[in-house]
Amino acid sequence: MLLVLALAFTAARAADPTAPADPDLNPRGRAILSWFQQLSAGSELRLVSGQFAGWSGSASIGELGRIHAATGRWPVMIGLDYCGWDKGEALLDVRQPNQLATAYWQAGGLVNLSWHAPNPSKPNGGGLKERGMDLATVLTPGATHDRWMKYLDAVAAGLQELQAAGVVVIWRPLHEMNGGWFWWGAQDPATFIAVWRHMFDYLTQTKKLHNLIWAYSPNHGQKPADAYYPGDAYVDLVGLDAYTDHINPDKIIGFERYAGIRKPIGLTEYGPHGASKPPGDYDYRRLLDGIEKNFPQLRHFLVWNEKWNPASNHFAREFYNDPRVLTRETMPPGLAGP
């Protein structure tokens, strides 16, 4: 019944696709979202750069520092994660990601924050990649729902700390939901949409978080990427996650499904070669040339860390100094920082 009510309530909402998903998004958040939208409306390829810095407890500014050392440039966005890999609430460590997020924001950069959520059906937490859970139980009164709400409260506390520090967050939870490797993935699309909308309403209305730009991030090539789309009133940015050397429609599948979604689109998670053990021999100029030739609508990217990092591959300097790549140095003044 709770799931039915959630669907009925949220389905009634409608929004101008160019308006912030959160009607009360703060002024800095509105300025950042407007920048993405202006880039999206432009005819020239301009990509907001991003680099993942690592998991909760092990993230390091060094991932971005290596790019700066190799190229003389800083990415626009630092990517971080409120990770819950194995131990449930114990690994919902918001302190270390928040320290890095605040420092990068104060230096003039943007913050992109993911959430690999622990499995609320597990009494002791964990189970990130454990299958077999019925996602509907997240919204059904009971032990799973109670644990989910505790996780949401822990996440909200971290986001509230960033809001108090003036930090705007590009919030990217429950990504790759159309794939079958995370507990929330490959479930009934209507149920996923209800869970997303419930989280949206809880964080924005109950917890009064108005520093969040909401990013929808399915995986390419799986069940149609738009099937899980929560709706224009619940999303600000969209993208595809893809690990491949080949930037073309044969290897990055499903891009055309976004044609009717009027939101700035990007590669919300990217790595050359594949999703494991990259060799570190990728020519990053191929990424730019492939985007311009085959996906000229893209306007942002977030590269994964370690050997996917451009600094661990070839032609990082040429990549980051290409005028098609926007860096922290070339951002409009006043978007981030004190």
Q: Hey, which residues are catalytic here? A: 176, 269
Whole-number Å distance between alpha carbons of 270 and 231 = 24
Q: Contact 271/302 with Cβ under 8 angstroms?
A: no
Q: What are phi and psi of 64, to 5 degrees?
A: -85, -30
Whole-number Å distance between alpha carbons of 64 and 203 = 29
- Count of all residues that appear for the chain in the document: 338
Q: Which two tokens stand for residue 172?
A: 């990217």
- Cβ within 8 Å of residue 20, ≥6 positions away: 29, 30, 33, 213, 236
Whole-number Å distance between alpha carbons of 101 and 78 = 7
